[in-house]
Structure 1
Amino acid sequence: MLPRHADPIAAIATAPGRGAVGIVRVSGKGLAPFVQGLLGRTLRPREAHYLPFPDAQGQAIDRGLALFFPAPHSYTGEDVLELQAHGGPVVLQLLLARCLEAAQGLLPRLRLAEPGEFTERAFLNDKIDLAQAEAIADLIDASTEAAARSAGRSLSGDFSKEIHGLRDALVHLRMLVEATLDFPEEEIDFLRKADAQGQLSNLQQSLGRVMQRAQQGALLREGIKVVIAGQPNAGKSSLLNALAGAELAIVTPIAGTTRDKVQQTIQIEGVPLHVIDTAGLRESDDEVEKIGIARAWDEIAGADAVLFLHDLTRQDAPDYVAADADIAGALPEKLPEGVPVIDVWNKIDRAPDGGHAPAAPQAGAHGAVWLSARTGEGLDALRRALLAVAGWQSAPEGVYIARARHVQALQAVDAHLMEAGAQLASDHPALDLLAEELRLAQNALNTITGEFSSDDLLGVIFSSFCIGK
């Protein structure tokens, strides 16, 4: 624990701005004398007291509720004082300043809290583990109902319980393997009798199930970046407006209307998708449009999925078909390997033959969708296709929120277990290498819940929290 963790801390714990109620929170060791000096009376533990909050001259700054939570039965595991006042920013700043002023003789070293420091102390004092701490931030930042419910499950410990179950099975297997290192002449028979191979196989199957749910949870939290690309006037802006259900992008018959990206986050079955409309891809002498086209390719290069939009009303025009073929040839060069491209054939309401016989080449191997951005026909099929390429499989009720680092840690565990399995399956396994792979797998698991985490990792995680949380 770093020296700063011993300092008492204070902060406004509610969001900036005006509101009905605002909270000033103080956390530290031995707050009782400070509470007495600040409020002029003692407070019964975990009981709301309605009283004035006096300034240094005894005049009331405000009247509100004061609650005192003695350690260890508090959010941080330390003594915690909460002052609940009217939610004006000036009132809360006055209360915070008064706390810092009163601390000069009563609570030395009281300072303003850093972002996420209250939750960091809850983690350091074993009130929550690291996955639960991250779930608090994810619950605050949730952009969909499904993400909020999944974050709630992680906060209640569902994800952590899965990780602890994997760790316990891994520890048991490590004990078997490391015990054989002391009896090398019996090592192979001992492991076979203990069914080490079967235990490892069961562990890998359990890990696979956890990885699948974690990947779904990470998708709920992060979403995917979807870029709409294609020639001018193919209907990209109309498609963005149709998916968003709002007039976000300007739509005109004039080619090149969109000069810069327009972005909107939508949700499909609770999965956030960050949809970006880009400038039409073509050769241009207009300097402004050329900048927009360059930015469009930059967005395409960073996409998780691309909607390659085609215009069915021009599917028989040789120049249009040739330009589409050029874009189709350029996309694989711009996109990282494995990024899906969905061919979207727009304007079926205006196509002479109904738009069922595209002449232009397809760029992607993920099928094609026919739709009308103007009438909405076919939009549901596109939404299903987007969920499919995103990898969404589970119903929200069975998913807990997870982060990219959790998925990466589980993938590292999987890689180490595969190496361990290869050692066990060999005729002459190197048990010291097998033991090392299992140790590394356990270390990777422990980084998820924080039982093995560097101070640098903690700094990155908690710095993303709001101040006062």
Structure 2
Amino acid sequence: MLPRHHDPILAIATAPGRGAVGMVRVSGKDLKPLALALFGRMLPPREAVYLPFCDAAGIPIDRGLALYFAAPHSFTGEDVLELQAHGGPVVLQLLLARCMEAASQRDPQAGQLVLPHLRLAAAGEFSERAFLNDKIDLTQAEAIADLIDASTEAAARSAAQSLSGAFSKEVHALRDALTRLRMLVEATLDFPEEEIDFLQKADASGQLERIQAALQAVFARASQGALLREGIQVVIAGQPNAGKSSLLNALAGAELAIVTPIAGTTRDRVQETIQIEGVPIHVIDTAGLRASVDTVELIGIERAWEAITAADVVLFLHDLTRAAEPSYQAGDVEIRSALQQKLPSGVPVIDIWNKADAVSTALQPEGITLSAKTGHGLDALRQALLQAAGWQAPAGGSFIARERHIQALRSVDAHCREAAAHLASQAQALDLLAEELRLAQGALSDITGEFSSDDLLGVIFSQFCIGK
């Protein structure tokens, strides 16, 4: 534990701005002297006390609730003091300053500072204290930030699942199963003279297969959770006046982009996040792709290609009313060729044929036919986007996950595959089998933070809000 983790910390724990209630939170090893200096009395643990919050001269700053949580029965595992006042920024700043002032005073009885080294908390430091004091593991700590940042109801529910320990429980079960199997392998290595084949008797091969099956189930749920957290980036591309802005507006259900009959109206990217079955879809409308001598339009087209090459899914929008025009067909061919050259492999391109309401003939081009004006075909597009994203609602529900969790689970899978290969050769490679199982264990422990470097913790908790 770094020296800074021993300092008592202080922060405003509610969002910036005005509100009905605001909170100042303090966490440290012994906060009784601070409570006595602030209120002239001790506070009963875990009991809300309504009293005045006064400055050093005894003049009330506000009246509110004070709560004292004695260690280890608190969020951080340390003593925690919470002051709940009216949520005005000035009031909360005055309370913050008063706490710092009281901490720097000398206790007349003890003859020392009331609370030495009290300082403002860094981002996420309260949650970091909770992790370091074994109140939560790393996946639960990350779930706190994900719950706060959730952009959809499904993402919030998945984050709550992780915060309750659902993800951690699955990881611990996998780790325990790997530990048992590794013990068998180590026993075989330690006692080679024994005639009993420990691995065959204990069905080591069957155990490993069951671990791999359980790992795949966890990976599927975690992948869906990662999708709920991150969403996918969808870019609408096509020639000018194909209805890209109209499609964005139709998907968003709001007039976000300017729509006119004039080709080239959209000069820059317009982005909106929508949700489909709880999955965040970040939709970007771009400038029409065509040859141009207009400097501003060329900049817009360049930015359009930047967005396209970074997309998870591209919606290639076509205009049904111009589908038979040779010049329009040539433009689409040129765009498709450019997409094939510039897009990374594996990025899906969905052909969308717009303006079905304006065409009387029964055209059935390949792709999805819709009308951004009437809404016809939008449901089919939404389902196509979910399919392209790989969304499948897990039967047991998902838990929120991050890219580092996915990478760690992939690493576990790779080590298990290597272990299975070594197990097949049995005695000739048992030492390598034991090592692969150890590496798989380590990758699982990285997820929950049992073996995490201070650098990794710094990156994770720095993304939290102040006061949490």
Structure 1 residues 209 and 305: CA distance shift in structure 2, 3 A: same
Shift of 1:400: 1.1
Distance in 1 (CA, whole Å) between partners of 2:428 and 2:229 is 41
2:107 corresponds in structure 1 to none
Taking structure 1 as the reference length, the TM-score comes to 0.96
Distance in 1 (CA, whole Å) between partners of 2:341 and 2:186 is 49
1:109-120 alignment runs, 5 A limit: 109-120=117-128
1:280 corresponds in structure 2 to 288
Which moves more between the two structures, 320-329 or 185-194? 185-194
2:333 corresponds in structure 1 to 325
Matched, 1:132 2:104: no
User: Residue by residue, what CA displacement relative to the aligned partner does 1:117-166 show, whole Å, maximum 9, x if unpaired?
Assistant: 00000000000000000000001001111111111111011111001100
**Gaps (5+ residues) in structure 2?**
105-112
Shift of 1:11: 0.4
Distance in 2 (CA, whole Å) between partners of 1:100 and 1:133 is 27
- Structure 1 consecutive aligned stretches of length 4 or more whose deviation exceeds 4 Å: 185-188
- 3-state SS of paired residue (2:357): coil
Matched, 1:334 2:342: yes
> Do 1:223 and 1:272's aligned partners in 2 also have CA atoms closer than 8 Å?
yes
1:417 corresponds in structure 2 to 416
Shift of 1:427: 6.1
**Gaps (5+ residues) in structure 1?**
359-367
User: Residue by residue, what CA displacement relative to the aligned partner does 1:213-237 show, whole Å, maximum 9, x if unpaired?
Assistant: 0000000000000000111111100
Matched, 1:456 2:455: yes
Kindly provide the amino acid, as one letter, of the partner of residue 438 in structure 1.
L
1:389 corresponds in structure 2 to 388
> Do 1:10 and 1:24's aligned partners in 2 also have CA atoms closer than 8 Å?
yes
Distance in 2 (CA, whole Å) between partners of 1:395 and 1:313 is 41
Distance in 2 (CA, whole Å) between partners of 1:166 and 1:395 is 19
Distance in 2 (CA, whole Å) between partners of 1:231 and 1:186 is 75
- 3-state SS of paired residue (1:307): strand
Kindly provide the amino acid, as one letter, of the partner of residue 117 in structure 2.
R
1:210 corresponds in structure 2 to 218
User: Residue by residue, what CA displacement relative to the aligned partner does 1:416-468 show, whole Å, maximum 9, x if unpaired?
Assistant: 10111111123664111111111111111011111111111101110000000
2:307 corresponds in structure 1 to 299
User: Residue by residue, what CA displacement relative to the aligned partner does 1:59-79 show, whole Å, maximum 9, x if unpaired?
Assistant: 111110000000000010000
User: Residue by residue, what CA displacement relative to the aligned partner does 1:277-296 show, whole Å, maximum 9, x if unpaired?
Assistant: 00111111111111111111
Shift of 1:184: 3.1
Matched, 1:94 2:102: no
Kindly provide the amino acid, as one letter, of the partner of residue 132 in structure 2.
L
Structure 1 residues 282 and 185: CA distance shift in structure 2, 3 A: farther
User: Residue by residue, what CA displacement relative to the aligned partner does 1:25-51 show, whole Å, maximum 9, x if unpaired?
Assistant: 000011111111111111010000000
> Do 2:63 and 2:85's aligned partners in 1 also have CA atoms closer than 8 Å?
yes
2:109 corresponds in structure 1 to none
Q: Percent identity?
A: 75
Distance in 1 (CA, whole Å) between partners of 2:365 and 2:180 is 60
- Say how many residue pairs are matched: 460
- 3-state SS of paired residue (1:106): coil
1:266 corresponds in structure 2 to 274
- 3-state SS of paired residue (1:147): helix
2:208 corresponds in structure 1 to 200
Distance in 2 (CA, whole Å) between partners of 1:351 and 1:184 is 79
- 3-state SS of paired residue (1:353): coil
Kindly provide the amino acid, as one letter, of the partner of residue 71 in structure 2.
A
